[in-house]
Structure 1
Amino acid sequence: MVKILMKGNEAIGAAAIKAGCKFFFGYPITPQNELPEFMSRELPKINGVFVQAESEISAINMVYGAAGAGFRVMTSSSSPGLALKQEGISYIAGAELPCVIVNISRGGPGLGGIQPSQADYYMCTRGGGNGDYRHIVYAPATLQEAVDLTIEAFDVADYYRNPVMILGDGMIGQMMEPVEFREPKKRELPLKCWATDGTEGKRNPNIISSLFLDPAELEKHNFKLDKKYKDMEENEVRYEMYMVEDAEIVIIAYGTTSRITRNVVDALRNENIKVGLIRPITIWPFPNKAFKEISSSTKAILTVEMSMGQMIDDVKIANEGRLPVHFYGRAGGMIPTPDAIIGKVREIMGGDK
């Protein structure tokens, strides 16, 4: 296959079109602006539709409409913009509609800044909208992985009739790397017989809604959704283990932070310091099972993030109290350096080694 040098935002857009996305609704915000710009240029070439909505709230409700009609549809934003979409995401999950949502995250809280950050972990993995709902969250570490996961995300969304999120920090959106566009693993996808695509007088109209005024019916609906989420937890967990087999310290990191920590692992291994890496690829469902593969020789866990430590709760749950959990992070758009992480590893091990 031919590899193409692309910027991350544009590569994600191209992957969406490769996956059959025909509709995009969004609103400008840095550092994801190249993605809607790309879609505005490329979708008309395939008879697709691009709309720059008047707000993020409008954009996510347009996604609801296109998804309800059975089309493959995507939106993208960055942190504060995604926060505005949360009510609509809850509606989409409640109505069981497939779509792909991209968050190229930036520092916060509030308007914050435009530099890369991982401080949207809570919002993306816990759901910022109301009610009991979940959605898969992919956290790519490279542009090739962002492309692969975006293509797969459309199939996964259709398979579960549920929104799927791609979470990449600002570096994923802005960096350039060579990528190729590969076919995803094949899934047998259900027909969209629920879609509001016209009856032609042959059937009763489909009605799509997340409104259930009878509490017994709403509870039944919640149980149905919960079963779907449990299936996701069983079947869709993705993670990478790197040199964990004999590690004395295991680092947990995702996204571009994991690229830095992987170099840390290599550097310390060259000094005969046994360090490994667990990299969650899905941050929901979180890879709890990976922690059962940690060696008995491991003495501690170190969580590294571009935030004040939002992943620590999930790490502690997965760890089940077996090992002490330490943290090193930078916030507000600051990026952890290899030297600083190495210093934290040495501190945990009890001094310079």
Structure 2
Amino acid sequence: MGSKIKVLIIDDSAVIRTVLTEILNGAGDIEVIGTAPDPLFAKNKLTSLQPDVITLDVEMPRMDGLTFLEELMHTNPVPVLMVSSLTQRACDTTLRALELGAIDYVTKPSIEITQGVEALAHEIIAKVRIAAKARVRFAARGSLPATAAAPATPKASALDTSRMATTDKLIAIGASTGGTQAITEVITQLPASIPGIVVVQHMPPVFTKSYAERLNTMSRVNVKEAEHGDRILRGTAFIAPGGRHMSIRRDGAMYYLELSDGPPVNYVKPAVDVLFRSVARFAGRNAVGVILTGMGEDGARGLKEMREHGALTLAQDEASCIVFGMPKRAIEMDAVDRVLPLSQIPRHILEAL
């Protein structure tokens, strides 16, 4: 057996520290090597403990979790898993943490309902394991906006729309772990005249709405959380709501969105495969499919169906992925036309339109 995954827990709640310690130590391959009530206390332990993963509370006294995370990613990058409550403020903070380099997040377990803790144990353990294998990089200072602001001017070469066809096109994107950053990088480089974009990112309901609103402030395209019956319009990106599958249908020359409450597919809901398969059926060669960073194989089969129906299919390459799971599986299944660094995906989308 290999060495255990070493975890440092940072949370101002003693109860949560205890609960997380019990959950993670019970996994067998994970060991909590230390806990801290706040980032300032944790700083003194980092050098000696050298954790493989840090779990970080969103809101803490003395030092803000985001300030600590930003400093950590500039000086000593370590995979960080945010521990967040499902409040609007916590969601906004968690999304900013993902922009700063956090690998993923888990919902803070309730300290009052034991059953709730048990239900979350599998997710917490799984995400710590994923984080331990994830790629973290030194962050460039000022590389991401600290607050919602007008979109930065993209490179002119990435925004040349002169070759776009006039037929109804569609762009479908799927991602999981690390996907919020990757999707942001892609969409913020696309022009307002882009054909409609449909996106599945594995997130819970409150987060998808917050993510769509945040991304809308950063992009030239309009971004919204999808609603059942939405017409897919040029210059608009639709984010699948957490907890519901999203698919498309075609009525004449127009595409529409359908949301459903079916069972999870590939253990997730929304599932990328559900979206991609519907795009293969109703858009065919008029679509571009993009599979980005993420754990598991959701989206691989759907992307293969898209390719078989004539769509151009793109996958993020291993070097630029936080977790090279979903793209890897799609490549293995011969579902991908082009494997690209994340920075090149917007250009290749535009060249296909």
Q: Smaller-chain TM-score range? A: 0.3 to 0.5
Normalised TM-score (structure 2):
0.39
Normalised TM-score (structure 1):
0.39
By relative contact order (CA 8 Å, sep 6+), the higher-ranking structure is: 1
